[in-house]
Chains A and B, each alone.
Chain A
Amino acid sequence: MNDLSPRGAVLADHPLAPAERLFRKLAGERLDILSTAWVRLESGRQVPEALVEIRSVAHKIAGTAASLGHSALGWHATEVERLCDEGSGRQELQRALRPLISGLADLVED
C-alpha cells in the first residue's frame, strides 16, 4: 500500500481515496448493526439473526480494511468472522467483537 497517512488511512488524492471515504461513511452504519447485534447476544434474544448480521459485517470489513491501511480493524474483523464460522460461544464472540466495535467507533469519531 502506498501513500498512507500517519494514521494509516489513505490520502485524499490517492486512487483509493473514494474507497476510504465510503469505508468511513459506512463505518457508522456498521457500528450500529454490530452494537444492536451485541445487545441481542447479551439478552439472548434473536441470537441466530444477530450472528448472521455480525458475520456479514465482519466479512465485509475483513475484506477491505487492511487494504485501506486499517490493519488492526481488518484483523479483528477476520477473527470475528472466523468465530462465527466455527460456531464459537457467545462470550468468546463478544470478547472478539469488543475491539472491532471500538475500532469502528474511533473511525466514526475521526
Chain B
Amino acid sequence: MMRILAIDDDPVFLELLAGMLRMIGYGQVTTMPSGHEALHELDFSGMLYDCILSDMQMPDLDGAALTAAIRQRTAYRQTPILMITAMSGKNAVDEAFAAGATDYITKPLDIIELRARIGMVDRLLAERRRLAEFARLVGQRAAAAEIKAEFETPIIIPGFERGIEFLAMENYLLTLGVKRMYSTSAFAIHIKNASIIFNKASGATYVQMLGDVAAQIVDALKTEDVMIAYAGSGTFVCMTERDLGQTPDDLEILINIGLMDFETIYASDRLPVPQVRVGEPARSAFLSPTKPTRIIERAIQSALTPPDKRSKNGQMVA
C-alpha cells in the first residue's frame, strides 16, 4: 500500500485529508504540522514514503522551499510530490512546479479530484516498480535493453537538476488561466541524431548522452527564466512567460558548439556527437480555445521539422 506523508500547519486539514484518503483506500498516512518536522521525519524515521502531499502556504518553510529541500535528498529525487493550494494561490504553484512538484490539488478538497490525482500517482509508482523489478530479475544488460525499448518515454535524466518531469510540465500548463496561457510560450530542442545514437549505443550511454545535451541546454539558457523537461524521443521542451533574449538559431548554434567539446569522448565510443535543432516558439492562439498542452505538441512539431519545411511565418500557433 502507498505510504503517504502529508504536511499542513492546520490540524483540521490533516485530519480531513487523512480521512478522505482512507475513504478512497489509502490508509497509510503520516501527518506532519510543518516543513521542518517533515524533513526530520524523512531523514530520521527510517520510513521511505511513496508520495508526499504538502500544503503550499505554511509559515517558516513554504511548499516550494520544502519541495526543493526534499528533492535534494537522494531517496526522494523522483518521489511524487503533490502541492495542496487554494485556488487563489496559483502563482505559488508556479514556484512549486519549478522546485520539482509533480502535481497539485486545490483546497477545499474534492474527493473525486483527490481520487484522480492519487490514482495517477499510484499508476506512476506501479510502472516504476515494474521497471525496477524487471531490472532486478534479468540484470543490468537486459535493463539497458529495456531503456532501448522505451525511446519515446520521457525518462528522468540523472543529474539534470534544473529539469522538471514532463508530466509536471503538462500539469503546470493545465493550471494556467486563460490570460497567462496566452502569455506563455513553449519551444522544443530536438536531438537530430537521437535515434541513430539510440540504436548504436547501450541504454546507459544513451541516457548519458541525454545528460550531456541537457547540461548544454541549461548552460545556454542560464540567464533565461524557463522551465525545461525531457519529453522523450530525444526532445526537450522549454516553457517561458518571457521573450527569449536570443533567437532559436542563436540558441541552436550555442548548444551545438558546446556539444562539440565532447567530440573525442563520442568518437571513442564510435558514436556521432549529438546535434540539436531548436524549433520556433509556440503560443496559444487568441479566440481559439484548444487544450493547454497543445502548445507543447506544436513546439515539438516545430523542432522536428527542418526550418525550410516549416510554415512561412515560422511561429507555431496552437
Contacts and interface: CB of A to CB of B under 8 A. Distances in A.
Interface of A: 1, 14-19, 22-23, 26, 59-60, 62-68, 74, 78, 81-82, 85
A28 to B, nearest CB: 13
How would you classify the secondary structure of chain B's contact residues: helix, strand, loop or mixed? helix
A82 B86 CA distance: 11
B86 A63 contact: yes
Contacts of B57: 59
Query: Which 10 A/B pairs are nearest by Cβ-Cβ distance?
Result: A19-B15, A19-B16, A63-B107, A16-B19, A66-B108, A60-B10, A15-B19, A67-B108, A23-B12, A64-B12
Contacts of A66: 108
Contacts of A23: 12
A21 B19 CA distance: 12
A16 B24 CA distance: 12
Nearest to A23: B12
Interface string B268-279: 000000000000
Given A16-B16, A22-B15, A81 B108 contact: no
26 contacts: A1-B111, A15-B19, A16-B19, A16-B20, A17-B19, A19-B15, A22-B11, A22-B12, A26-B11, A59-B86, A60-B10, A60-B12, A60-B13, A62-B86, A62-B107, A63-B10, A63-B86, A63-B108, A64-B10, A64-B12, A64-B107, A66-B108, A68-B16, A78-B86, A81-B86, A82-B88
A68 B109 CA distance: 10
A19 B19 contact: yes
A33 B179 CA distance: 37
Interface in B85-112: 86, 88, 107-111
A51 B110 CA distance: 28
Given A15-B19, A15-B23, A22-B15, A67 B88 contact: no
